[in-house]
Structure 1
């Protein structure tokens, strides 16, 4: 149980900025498990540049991964695929959120459903997400709203995961569980 009483699962949330090394870290973590590996790709292929990126990522992962492309139904994938013999890597929650916003889905409901699924996993799961709130405040309403949604999504997922790791410059910082002292004034 967390300090606020929420149950934690075996999930691991890996956060970081663009090109921070978060996906590479998450893949290495999954490899270290020794389990079968399932890569859940949330990115829609919208143009040739994205198609090339996806092909490069698949080639870099190699043949030891099974890939499922799913832009929306992460709960369905976890329900069907998570088990004690398989580690599921979801890359990434930021693109999943983008897909939800673009299709005008209810982000709060989808996030709650994903958190519920993570709390009842039958196997390990690693989730990759961008930390978008550490830069300049975006100049337009849509971008500010997305940044806010991303921050709430990350907080909700972090609350139900057993581990949270922040990546900067390829270096991991364990955020949860932590051994920080209780800070008071």
Structure 2
């Protein structure tokens, strides 16, 4: 079962995914995608770690999210991916540094993998397309690519939930 959970920054999307994973009762593998580059972001990551039960396996995926999903999937388990936006950032530091070929391959591999995984898969992502069109080229590219990725995963998902103000709204 594939469940996409989306929302804005500090919306409660990760907390919802963690609650759902904990309720499942099976083993949980949390696949984290962020590349920590500053102290403020390190504090955010630490807060996420503190919320997670000690028995959960935490795997840092880098760009190899599809491979990590395949490696850690179990019919009786939960895979929690947190999050697609941070995974995309690993391919995009700025427009000139965007490796579109590597990203296209990784995106295709991710989508192909998500549809064949056993067990429960909870995918957290950022909903960032409700603001104005960003002025910077790198920001526009990020918003566009994440919007396309979110649509593709939502189309594959059995369930999709939007979280805002800590409240879940079932979309699918």
Same fold (TM over 0.5): yes
Of residues 46-55 and 90-99 in structure 1, the stretch that sits farther from structure 2 once superposed is: 46-55
Residues 112-150 of structure 1 show CA distances to partners (whole Å, capped at 9, x for unaligned) of 211110111022110000011101211112111111101
Corresponding position of 1:125: 121
Match of 2:62 in 1: 71
Unaligned runs of 5+ in 2: none
Question: What SS does structure 1 have at the residue aligned with 2:90?
Answer: helix
Larger radius of gyration: 1
Match of 1:115 in 2: 111
Q: How many residues end up aligned between the 2 structures?
A: 167
Kindly state the Cα deviation for residue 56 of structure 1 after the two structures are TM-superposed.
Answer: 2.3
Aligned with residue 93 of structure 1, among 77, 84, 87: 84
TM-score by length of structure 1 reads 0.85
How far is the alpha carbon of 1:171 from its aligned partner? 0.9
2:92 match: secondary structure: helix
- Separation in 2 of the partners of 1:150 and 1:109? 15
1:87-128 Cα deviation digits (max 9, x unpaired): 010000000011122362533332221111011102211000
CA RMSD of aligned residues (A): 1.3
- Return 17-26 or 99-108, whichever deviates more: 99-108
Does residue 42 of the first structure (1) align with residue 33 of the second (2)?
A: yes
- TM (norm. structure 2) is 0.91
Query: 4+ residue runs of structure 1 moved beyond 3 angstroms?
Result: none
